[in-house]
Chains A and B, each alone.
Chain A
Amino acid sequence: MTARGLWRSVRDDLGRHWRHVGAGALGIAVSIAALVFFLALGLGVRTVLLGEVFPVDRIEVFPRSTDLNLLALKLELGKDTIDDAMVGKLEAIDGVAAVYPKMRLLAPALATGGESLIGTGMQTELVADGIDPALVADDVGAAFHDPLVDRSVIGLACGENSTCPGGAICVGASVFGPGECREAIPVIVSEHMVELYNGAFRRAYRLPKVNPQALIGLGIDVSFGASSLRPSGRRVARDRVVLAGFSDAAIPLGITMPLGFVRRLNRELGPDGAGDGYHSAVVESASRNAVAGIVTASEHLGLEVRDGGARRASFFMTVALAAVSLIGIVILAVSALHVMHVFALLVMIRRREIGVMRAVGASRADVRLLLMTEAAVVGFAAGLCGLIGAAVLVRAADRALTSGLPDFPFKPESFFAFDPWLAAAALTLAVASCVLGALAPSLRATGPDPAEVLSST
């Protein structure tokens, strides 16, 4: 069959039978619209969950430990730190792009300040973590760095009432002797903390709402080694921390400092050996596909991934997407059955026409090609209509969700991921379902010989 002949026949036939094929196409279009809408929603939510809430290209591994329950308490057994050798082993795992060790501050800390921002001073116990500044370089840039590395301000003596150059602070000055000029400690916090403050905390204490960006540069005084809960009996080191920025890699509740500084504080103020080991490590994978292998290899090294949220989110999203896909496929299969009935009807209506075509020189393959091409065109058109419908629905729903829902942590700019591959896959699916639906009728159409067909019509 010639390409021109095929096109003319397809055009003529679909034009003639548009009511019948339209009925079949409608089901396919609705199925595709529903499938694409829910998949785009699922993929969009999945992107937020796994990309921002639980970024799966970065997993945090911890030393595997066993706790023994003793009434209300737990007796911690086993090692609870990772040493440099283990970090080296982690870096050697296939698919690992980088390893960023983390260390908890093992000394109490008491923060004081806040007058300049909210008009009243506050004092609070502080939880702190130390991370490699490279881990958050993309989020906060060079502002987050270890202040002890900047030698230009270290070593300058300062008194209680003297100032240090370049915004540095005087640490350790007293009536007994001079102190040392040092840059304030840059810290980062999670945006979740600001959301928590602006949500429940400020309402409970009748405090003003704050703009997160205005907080950058805010300084508070911290007494490391001090505690309002009980006297530590340790030496107290007074210092000043300055907010350098926000990052999802920061500890959810507390401040996150440069790793080197926390190590020094642990060595000076913490228990013996506190600055020698890391408490966890963030392992960055080269690709998301490598994550599963990295988790397995880490577990073989005696480590564990405690990020249950990511696992649950990933599992939930996978199940949800599979369920949505399954429902969509079932609807599509039902629509394909409908297409099959439509084409069976068309074949019956066009029985004589098919007989005439074969009598003048069409082979069985020509007739099948014609019917399958018609089905493919119907599928493509239906898929296209479904995609357009889905795009309109997605836009309307996205607008309603983003503007209608109140702000919440990790609220995305768009709830949908309408990727080109999704559109291409949906179109392919629409065409395939129509072609499959038309397969049996087209085979039946070419079964009998032309003489039998024409003698019976």
Chain B
Amino acid sequence: MIRINGLCKRYPGSEVDVLKGIDLEIAAGDFVSLVGRSGCGKTTLLNIVGGLDFDFEGRVEVDGRDIGSLADRDLARYRRDTVGFVFQAYHLLDHLSCAENVALAARFGAGGGSGAKRERARAEEVLESVGLAGAADRRPTRLSGGERQRVAVARALFNRPRLLLLDEPTGNLDTATGGEILDLLSTLHSEMALTILAATHDGAIEAVGRRLLRISDGRLAERLEDVR
């Protein structure tokens, strides 16, 4: 599903490459954990694969499409239809209800403009699937950290993506809540046959992932295949 060749990334104003020639292949349905120290390039790699960062060198293909060559409109469609992204900081919009946050992508054409009732029904369905049935009309500010992260996961799942990218999904959560999120992700992976790439410090996620990749000094220094 994902094929990366010679991926390099240097931030403007920096003299150091964050990613130095990454080569990687991830098959459809894989659950890959990406580990490494802070600042090693995990988030950068996720952003590039998720189409959020398009200033890089090398080739990144997802489902045969070269991400780097996509025009802005096509890249937006890729983010909308193919990828679900869960941020460490949740990035929920406080002025919207949980259902509106979850269905935000529909405003930009996700679901082909299926209508308000169907959008609402889909939002409630994914909220229920992450264990937040009945929270559709609540504001994110009224939710706990774990609940917010569940809403963020629900938002990522709204448009039935094939690729789920998780950036430290338990980084802001206590151990118990992080465990719940982890269980949820494990369930989703097995039930929806999602391809998951998760950047994490969390040893528990490392354990859940089918593959474990370690980034060090901008390179994939170590591969531990089929750790489970």
A interface list, Cβ under 8 A from B: 1-2, 4-6, 8-9, 12, 16, 352-353, 355-366, 449-452, 454-455
Contact = CB atoms under 8 A, between A and B. Distances in A.
Contact of A5 (B91, B92, B109): B109
Contact of B52 (A4, A5, A449): A449
A450 B109 CA distance: 18
Nearest to A453: B52
A16 B55 CA distance: 34
A443 B89 CA distance: 26
A262 B65 CA distance: 95
B107 A9 contact: yes
A356 B95 contact: no
Which residue, of A9, A352, A451, has the highest number of chain B Cβ atoms within 10 A? A451
B91 A8 contact: no
A71 to B, nearest CB: 85
Contact of A454 (B44, B80, B91, B106): B91
Interface of B: 43-44, 47, 50, 52-55, 72-73, 75-77, 79-81, 85, 87, 89, 91-93, 95-96, 104-110, 113, 116, 155, 159
Contacts of B52: 358-359, 449-451, 454
Which are the 6 A-B pairs with shortest beta-carbon distances? A361-B80, A5-B107, A363-B76, A451-B53, A451-B47, A451-B52
A455 B110 contact: no
A361 B93 contact: no
Contacts of B104: 356-357, 360
Nearest to B78: A361
B72 A4 contact: no
Contact of A359 (B85, B107, B159): B85
Nearest to B116: A4
B109 A352 contact: no
A352 B54 contact: no
23 contacts: A1-B109, A5-B113, A12-B95, A353-B93, A355-B91, A356-B92, A358-B76, A359-B52, A360-B80, A360-B104, A360-B110, A360-B155, A361-B76, A361-B108, A363-B72, A363-B73, A363-B75, A365-B72, A449-B52, A449-B54, A450-B53, A451-B47, A454-B89
A449 B68 CA distance: 13
Contacts of A450: 52-53
A359 B91 contact: yes
Given A1-B108, A366-B108, A361 B91 contact: no
Nearest to B80: A361
Which secondary structure dominates where chain A touches chain B?
A: helix
A12 B104 CA distance: 12
A7 to B, nearest CB: 9
Given A4-B116, A365-B72, A449-B52, A359 B93 contact: no
B72 A364 contact: yes
A5 to B, nearest CB: 3
Which residue, of A1, A16, A358, A450, has the highest number of chain B Cβ atoms within 10 A? A450
Contacts of B75: 363
Contacts of A2: 106-109, 113
B107 A8 contact: yes
B73 A365 contact: yes
Nearest to B84: A360
A190 B77 CA distance: 76
A119 to B, nearest CB: 84
Nearest to A352: B91
A120 to B, nearest CB: 86
Nearest to A366: B108
A361 B85 contact: no
Contact of B77 (A358, A361, A454): A361
B148 to A, nearest CB: 13
A359 B79 contact: yes
Nearest to A5: B107
A5 B54 contact: no
Contacts of B79: 358-361
Given A2-B109, A357-B104, A454 B87 contact: yes
B103 to A, nearest CB: 9
A261 to B, nearest CB: 80
Nearest to A12: B95
A12 B108 contact: no
B54 to A, nearest CB: 6
Which residue, of A2, A4, A355, has the highest number of chain B Cβ atoms within 10 A? A2
Nearest to A362: B108
A374 to B, nearest CB: 14
Nearest to B106: A5
A455 B53 CA distance: 11
A361 B77 CA distance: 6
Given A357-B108, A450-B53, 10 more contacts: A5-B109, A6-B107, A357-B104, A359-B87, A360-B80, A360-B110, A361-B108, A366-B108, A449-B55, A454-B87
A429 B136 CA distance: 42
A216 B89 CA distance: 91
A452 B47 CA distance: 9
A5 B75 CA distance: 19
A366 B53 contact: no
A372 to B, nearest CB: 16
A6 B106 CA distance: 10
A305 B92 CA distance: 75
